[in-house]
Amino acid sequence: MTQHPHLKRIDTNLPGVCVIEPVVHGDARGYFFESFHAKKYAELGIDVRFVQSNVSRSAQRVLRGLHYQWPNPQGKLVSVLDGEVYDVAVDIRRGSPTFGQWEAAMLTAANHRQLWIPEGFAHGFCVVSESATFMYQCTALYDSTCDAGVRWNDAAIGIDWPVAEPLLSAKDEKAPFLAEVPEDKLPVYVEP
């Protein structure tokens, strides 16, 4: 765990994937926290430039994922503005020592946590509250020609989703299992 006076970085078992906890300043009127500060995040090892920010709203039991872009991968800093989600990152970088492994974090409007998902990882989440408003800050622009995915319930990955029968898009229902994705359609692991 790395500390900063205004942030805490909690590393996961997937090198590079981490939870960020901001310091929240609050009183009876409400609260304030920095949702991103380039210099402070760089001091925690997240030295990135965001070029696109997205917000989605989803109903309870909606599962989105597992999504990634290749080529032209996106790093994502994700958070919840309203509600609660179970957020997942999966290492899909061929040659990685943690290939096929996953990590998850509960991101809620109340805990203000963020999950940093570096380039080369697939990402997905499911909504456990009545609804959720989810924010993505991305290091690369969305490119429909690079849009790709892995099946949410791939047994070889074994994600322990908290929703038994999720609501899925047609695209996510038909996404390939990780073993079915051609090698040239997967990100490449680069030694740190």
DSSP state of 177: P
Task: Assess whether 31 carries a catalytic annotation.
Answer: no
The burial of 133, by beta-carbon neighbours within 10 Å (0-12 exposed, 13-18 middle, 19 or more buried), is given as middle
Task: Assess whether 136 carries a catalytic annotation.
Answer: yes
Of 123, 105, 136, 120, the C-alpha closest to 19 is 105
Distance CA 131, CA 124 (A): 16
Catalytic residue, from 41, 67, 68, 86: name it: 67
Beta bridge partners of 65: 124
Catalytic residue, from 41, 68, 86, 136: name it: 136
The CA distances from residue 62 to 49, 75, 138, 169, 180, in Å, are: 29, 22, 21, 9, 24
Count other C-beta atoms under 10 Å from residue 64's C-beta. 22
Alpha-carbon torsion angle 116, 120, 122, 128, nearest 10: 0
Residues tagged active-site: 67, 136
